[in-house]
A = this chain, B = another copy of it.
Amino acid sequence: MSSFDDVQNRFGAADQGSLRRTNLALVLGRLRDQGPRSRARLATELGITRSGVSSLVGELVERGLVRTGVVERGAVGRPGTSVRLDGRSVCGIGAEINVHHVATMAMDLSGNVVAEHRLTLDGNRHEASEVVDRLVELVSRTEDDVAAHGAAPVGLTVGVAGLVDSTRDMLTLGPNLEWREVPVGAMIRDRLQPDYPVVIDNEGNLAAIAETLPGDPGRRDILVIFGEVGLGGGIVADGRLLRGRQGYAGEFGHMIVDPQGRRCGCGRIGCWETVAGLRALLDAAADTDDAVRDPALGLQARLAELNRRADLGDTRTLAALDQVGGWIGVGAAMLTNALNPAAIVLSGYFAEVGHHMRGSIEARLEAGVLAPHAGGTVVELSTLGFTAAVRGGATLALESVFADPTRVERLVPVAQGESR
């Protein structure tokens, strides 16, 4: 329960940590969460000596993670030297395999997006090995972009639409991909031979990480509900992703909310995703031959068409959005009783059409939560679009550096540095 363990457990580092490493992490984390500041201010805020701060900052500079520069002061006092994150030298890479596409994103330590790639692909129609081949091509291209940027990758996180057993590095079950026991991580490592760690994770978890804003109290306790063909998401509690024992947390889509309802892809009756997933919306909104149900058109175009109809006041479309919104609210209320999040962030397809569902979601939330005013929980729409999972994957890869800055080697003289 100590904070020392906390740092270790963030990314599952197995070795013994050190206070030095913890202290480097504290300085680096503060610069990320609170922005650039002087050494003197860091010393005051962290309650250590100026020389202690200088030593820590010096090491972070040597590792290329922070840089220093003159900061202007007011009329009084000498100008102090500010310390800020140096985003340039390392990148995290996020990748995603879902039913509709494969995608990647590279992000530097400061949160700047360095590269982004996406390929539309029908995950159901291809063997797992083919899908992984396509993804590895995108990752290779992303690696080239990172190298051209003058940076090195520190890790790759691959989000998949399904249950990921973190203890076995295995996609246990991807109901909508129709994959079972696929060693996605090992397949990628075999093809890519990377010199950085590759971690697989649930795409809903990664979408949740992407919505967490370090330093923003309104985004420390959030529930992210990620709508796709299936329905998943993640729980962030006190700024940290809740993973559970085997990494299976966030499988909201299979909470049974409609016991007399329809059969789910998983075989059960009345799972939340049967009434709130994309198929439920399309079934309610359109006949089977309607263009909005044609996978060939691409999801964003189809959702844009639904929005167009709703904006024009089409009764069937509005009723469908209302009905699905109500069911989103039913499940959200259950989870809000359990979790009392500051915000429920609707991600994936929910974010695209959520403005038409907000009223019905909020009404069910208010009705279904014991605490007055739904415990203060607000409903928000993600602004990350369909990049949430890859963004979260890149963030998680970078997180390993924030948890342990010594993972990035000290910079060596230029002549030798080229061997990196």
Contacts and interface: CB of A to CB of B under 8 A. Distances in A.
Interface of A: 1-7, 9, 16-23, 25-26, 29-30, 33, 44-48, 52, 163, 172-173, 175, 212, 214-215, 221, 235, 237-240, 242-256, 266, 268, 330, 333-335, 337-342, 367-372, 375-377, 402
28 contacts: A1-B33, A1-B214, A2-B25, A3-B3, A4-B26, A4-B30, A5-B29, A5-B33, A9-B238, A16-B47, A17-B47, A19-B47, A19-B52, A221-B244, A237-B240, A237-B244, A242-B242, A244-B341, A244-B342, A245-B342, A245-B375, A248-B375, A249-B338, A249-B339, A253-B337, A254-B369, A255-B337, A338-B338
B371 A173 contact: yes
Contact of A48 (B19, B33, B340): B19
A106 to B, nearest CB: 21
A339 B242 contact: yes
Shortest 4 CB-CB contacts between residues of A and residues of B: A18-B47, A244-B340, A2-B29, A3-B3
Contacts of A5: 29, 33, 239
Q: Identify the interface centre among A7, A44, A238: most chain B CB within 10 Å of its CB.
A: A238
B48 A246 contact: no
Given A337-B254, A372-B173, A30 B2 contact: yes
A35 to B, nearest CB: 14
A22 B26 contact: yes
Given A22-B26, A173-B370, A247 B48 contact: no
Nearest to A212: B1
Which of A26, A235, A337 has the most C-beta atoms of chain B within 10 angstroms of its own C-beta? A337
Given A2-B26, A372-B172, A48 B18 contact: yes
